[in-house]
Structure 1
Amino acid sequence: MNSWIYLIIAGIFEMLWVLSLELSDGFSKVKYILLTIVFMIISIVLLSFSFETIPMGTAYACWTAIGAIGVIIIGMIFFNESTSFVRLGFIAMVIIGIVGLKLTTA
């Protein structure tokens, strides 16, 4: 499988573990604690697979950005977090940075 596909899926699992961490209610709900651990492991394993052809720094930056942007969007949609124009502008800058990293990676 293509390393970028591994990386994107790893980023999705990063979003899932952060969401399950939020839903664990301060580590008081066992089901969500277990989901957090499982999603973390899957995310990190897939991230490591992406290192085959993507430089480590690029892969890590993209992985964290996918997770962060996804969690921010989930927070806006489901947890009533701010959707200010300035916040959306900074999200756009992160996306531009990730696209730049992708375009400049051999």
Structure 2
Amino acid sequence: MSINWLMLIIGGLFETGFAISLGKAQQSSGKALALWLTTFAVCVAISMFLLFKAMGGPKAIPVGTAYAVWGAIGAFGTVVAGIALFNEPVTFWRMFFLTTLVLSVVGLQLTTAA
């Protein structure tokens, strides 16, 4: 795995962080709200920077692939965190489509020349 793919994966995890921060901010007020909004801003900045870096350099990941994988990692992490932190429902169809998302990301990685 190249450094670009590693940066992209970490960036996707920070995307999960910014989505969860927004969810927590909705449930907060006062200092806690400010903390969650600050966490959101930091996660957005890191996530976008890592996406930017993954698309550059000698082992650049193509823009379309990078964005799709980054978004899918964030979506997957957000669904899992939503289930764990916000008691969101676990249904057959939700898990089915989450699985197809993961398989699609793996397929993109396998078919993209790094």
What range is the shorter-chain TM-score in? over 0.9
In the TM superposition, what whole-angstrom CA distance separates every residue of 1:10-61 from its partner, at most 9, and x where no partner exists?
A: 0010001111111112785111111111110000000001002100000000
Identity %: 40
How many equivalent pairs are there? 106
Write the distance in 1 (CA, Å) between the matches of 2:28 and 2:80: 23
Would you say the 8 A contact 1:20–1:35 is kept in 2? yes
Number of the residue aligned with 1:88: 95
Q: Tell me the residue number matched to 1:51.
A: 55
Shift of 1:96: 0.8
Flag as ranges the 4+ runs of structure 1 deviating above 3 A.
none
Gap runs ≥5 in structure 1? none
Q: TM-score, normalised by structure 1?
A: 0.94
Residue identity opposite 1:68 in structure 2? A
* Aligned-pair CA distance for 1:82: 1.1
Q: Which runs of 5+ in 2 are unaligned?
A: none
**TM-score, normalised by the number of residues in structure 2:** 0.88
- Partner of 1:24, secondary structure, is helix
Distance 1:25 1:81 in 2: 15
Provide the alpha-carbon RMSD of the alignment: 1.4
The residue type paired with residue 61 of structure 1 is A
Q: CA deviation at 1:103?
A: 0.5
